[in-house]
Structure 1
Amino acid sequence: MRIECLAAPQLNELWSLREDTLVDPDDGPDGPVTVQTRWGPVHFENPDPVLRTALERMTLGPVSLSNVLPGFPGLEDLDRPEAHSPEVAALLRGLRRIRHCLVRTLALGGTPLLSVVPLARDTWFVPQPVPGDRPCRLSRFAVLRWAEGGLRMESPLAHHRVQLHRPEMVQLLGLLSGGDRPVGLQLDQEVTEAAIGYLLASRIVVAAEHPAVGADAPRYAEDDDPTLAGWSADDMMVHARSRLGRSDGPFGATFAHLGRMPAEPAVKPLGARTAVPLPRPDLGELRTSDEPFSSVLERRRSLRRYGPAPLSIRQIGELLFRACRIREGADRDGRPYPSMGSVYALELYLVAGPDTELPPGVYHYDPLGHLLEPLDAPAAETAELREAAQATLSADGPPPLLLVITARFRRATQAFSGIAYTSLMKDVGVLMQNLYLVSTAMGLAPCALASGNSDTAARAFGLDWAVESSVGEFVVGTSPPAADLG
C-alpha cells in the first residue's frame, strides 16, 4: 500500500463531544442548556449564543471552533490567556465546565489524524510543545490495541486515551524509541511535532529529562520514579481499568453479554465417571467442639512441612464441606464463602499424592453433591503440577494434597464489565481464607501458593484455557509434630 506524504498547510484542531454526551436545550433555542455526561449533568443557565452554537455543532461531529468564533486561537495560543479576546475567553470558560466531555482531534483540513478522548472528570487537555533538544519515546506503560473499530493508545497513568485515525500515526509510534527525531516518516515536520505534542500531553509519549550527551543513554522520569519502579505495565493497567477514575468503558454489573452467549450453569455438570461420595461432618457437634473463632484466627499460619500420617478421606471431606460446599436448600449466597454478585464461578480440582487416603490422581469437586469426580489426567501433567507446587513451597517433596482453584470466566463476564477478572480474584482470596481457617480449626497444615501454571492445569484437567483456567493454588496435609513447626 502506498502512503501519500501529508503536507501541513491546513493543520488545525477540531473539537467534538464524547459519543455518550447529550446536549439538551431545556426551554427551546433561547433557554438554559443541560449537557448530560457520564459523570452527571452540567447546567448552563444563560449560555451566550457562541457557546450554544459550539455545543450544537460539536454534537454533530468534529468542528473547528474558528468557524464558530472567528479568531479562536490555534494550537500555539490556546492556553495563553493574554492572547484571548473577551469572546474567546468566555467560550473557553464555558468549555472548561465540560472539559471531561471534549474530544480534541488533530487534523489536516477535514482529515483527522488522531483524537484525544478524556477519561476523567477533572482534566483539561493541553497539547505540549515538543522539546527540540530532548528525545521522546513511548511510555513503558502505553498499550496499543484495537477497540470499537479502530486503533487506540492507552496508559494507566493517563486521564485520556488516543484514537489513531491514520496509518501515519501508527508509523510515528513505531519510530518513537527514544532516539533521534523520527526519520523516514511520511509526514511534514510540523505535523509530526504537533502529533508528538498531543501524545506527550496525553502521557502516551514521554520526553527525556535531559538532552542525550555523547554515548550516555537518555534518562526518562518514569524509569527513575520510585513510585512507579515497582509497577509493571500489566499490573497497573489491571488496577486502572478495574476501578473508576481512569476508565470510561462499561463498568459493574451491566450484563452486557446477556443473550449473546449461553449462560454457564451455576454448578458445573459432572462427567461420565462414577463420583466418590465424601464424608460429611456433624455441624452440630462442630459448633460445640470447635475452638473459639478468635483462637483459630490467631493460630492461622502457613505450614510447609507435614506430619507422617496420611491425609484421610474424612479430613478431606470435612475440609471441603466446611469451606466450600453448597448448603442444602441454599439461596444465591448459599456457600460458606461470599462471591461478588453471587456468581460463584470458582471450581476446585484435587491433585492427590500417595500421602493421602485417596488413590493418587486428579479429582474435580462437586460442591452440590459433595462428591469427588475422578478425571483421566495425563500422568506427565499431574506430576508437573505436584513438582511445581513443591518448588514454590521450597519443600523436600510434593505436598500431600494440592487444591487447584479454577474460574469459569463466563460466569463473571456475563454479569460484569470492567471488573469481571478482579471480582474473581477477590473470590479466590475469600475462598483461600476459608480453607486456611477451616484447616487451622481441624489441626491441618495449610499453605496458599503464590502462583501456578495455568497451561499445565488446563491440560491436566481437560479445560479450554479461555473458558476455564486456574487462578489459585492451595496445599494441605496433616500437621507436623510440634518440634517441626519452628
Structure 2
Amino acid sequence: MVPAQSHVPAGRPLWSLLEDAFVDEGAEHLTVHGRWGAIEIADTSPLVREALHRMSLGPVALENISALHENFVRWKTGSGPCLVWRKLKNTLDQLGGCLVPSLGLDDGAGPILSVVAVTRDAVFGLPHISADQPVTMRRGTEIERLNGDQALACAGQQYQVILHNAPATEIAKWLLDTETTVASVAEALHLEKALVSDVVAYLAGAGLVVTARR
C-alpha cells in the first residue's frame, strides 16, 4: 500500500522495468509483458510511451523527459502543483512487480540500490520517516549474494533490495545490527541525513525496514 505521507527523495529517483519485461506498442494499444503476464496500459499518451521506452533501457531519471521536467521539479521541491507527474506515477504503479524503483546520487553514476519485486501485485511507495524515529530491520532480513551483487531479502516480503554501491551497503549493514535512527546512522557513518533518510525510506518501502515503538 502506498503511504499516505510520502518521502520525497533528496537524491535522484530512477525507474526501470524488470530485465525480462518488454513493451509492445501500437497506434491504439500499449502493453507491458513480463514474468507474470501482460499488463494493458490505459494511458497511451506520448509521455507514457516515452517513459516506458526509456525505462526498458535501464534505470533512468524520468525528469529528463522535456514534457515532464518542470512538473517533476515542482514535486521534488514542493513548489507547486505537479499533476502531470502524479498522473504518470499512477500509471507506472499499474505495472506492479514489473516496475523497478532505484535510488541514485546526483553524480549520475547509476543507482546505489534497486527495489525488485518478487510478487506480481507489489506496489512501491516511500513512507516518511523522521530523523529521530527509531527504525530496525525486519526480523529475518539477511544479506545474500545475487548475480554478483549484495541483496537484502526477507521471506514473505514482496520485494528484495539490490545493494549496488556505497553508501547503501554500509547503511543496510548498520541497520541489520541494531535499532537506531536516521540521525544516529548519519552521525556514525559520517553521511548526510538526507542521504540516509532516502536509503531508509526505500528499504522501508520494500518492507525490510520497520519503525520501532518508542
Report the AA paired with residue 14 of structure 1: L
**Structure 1 position 106, deviation (Å):** 0.8
Q: Deviations over 1:256-300 (max 9, x none)?
A: xxxxxxxxxxxxxxxxxxxxxxxxxxxxxxxxxxxxxxxxxxxxx
Q: Deviations over 1:274-333 (max 9, x none)?
A: xxxxxxxxxxxxxxxxxxxxxxxxxxxxxxxxxxxxxxxxxxxxxxxxxxxxxxxxxxxx
Closer, same or farther: CA 179–100 of 1 in aligned 2, 3 Å? closer
Report the AA paired with residue 179 of structure 2: G
Distance 2:40 2:16 in 1: 18
Matching of residues 304-453 of structure 1 within 5 Å: none
What is aligned with 2:22? 22
Higher relative contact order (CA 8 A, sep 6+): 2
What is aligned with 2:82? 84
Larger gyration radius, structure 1 or structure 2:
1
**Structure 1 position 167, deviation (Å):** 3.1
Distance 1:186 1:21 in 2: 38
- Identify the match of residue 63 of structure 1 among 60, 65, 81: 60
Segments of 5+ residues of structure 1 without an aligned counterpart are: 1-9, 211-486
Distance 1:178 1:164 in 2: 20
CA contact (8 A) 1:155 1:204 kept: yes
Distance 2:16 2:33 in 1: 14
What is aligned with 1:209? 213
Closer, same or farther: CA 36–208 of 1 in aligned 2, 3 Å? same
Residue 88 of structure 1: SS of its match in structure 2? Answer: helix
CA contact (8 A) 1:16 1:61 kept: yes
**Structure 1 position 63, deviation (Å):** 1.1
What is aligned with 2:201? 197
What is aligned with 1:168? 167
**Structure 1 position 83, deviation (Å):** 4.1
Closer, same or farther: CA 44–174 of 1 in aligned 2, 3 Å? closer
Matching of residues 216-295 of structure 1 within 5 Å: none
**Structure 1 position 96, deviation (Å):** 2.1
What is aligned with 1:99? 96
Distance 1:45 1:134 in 2: 39
Distance 2:58 2:158 in 1: 22
Residue 44 of structure 2: SS of its match in structure 1? Answer: coil
TM-score with structure 2 length normalisation? 0.81
Distance 1:13 1:166 in 2: 15
Q: Deviations over 1:305-362 (max 9, x none)?
A: xxxxxxxxxxxxxxxxxxxxxxxxxxxxxxxxxxxxxxxxxxxxxxxxxxxxxxxxxx
Matched, 1:13 2:17: no
Distance 1:77 1:164 in 2: 26
Distance 2:194 2:43 in 1: 39
**Structure 1 position 171, deviation (Å):** 1.4
Matched, 1:179 2:183: no
Matched, 1:148 2:147: yes
What is aligned with 2:5? none
Displaced runs of 4+ in structure 1, greater than 3 A?
71-74
CA contact (8 A) 2:131 2:193 kept: no
CA contact (8 A) 1:65 1:72 kept: no
Q: Deviations over 1:40-98 (max 9, x none)?
A: 11123660000000010001111111112113447x958x9x9432x334322321221
Aligned length: 195
Segments of 5+ residues of structure 2 without an aligned counterpart are: 1-9
Distance 2:139 2:105 in 1: 29
Report the AA paired with residue 52 of structure 1: R
CA contact (8 A) 1:31 1:45 kept: no
Distance 2:42 2:174 in 1: 48
Distance 1:44 1:179 in 2: 41
TM-score with structure 1 length normalisation? 0.37
Residue 60 of structure 1: SS of its match in structure 2? Answer: coil
Report the AA paired with residue 191 of structure 1: L
Distance 2:87 2:132 in 1: 36
Closer, same or farther: CA 184–54 of 1 in aligned 2, 3 Å? same
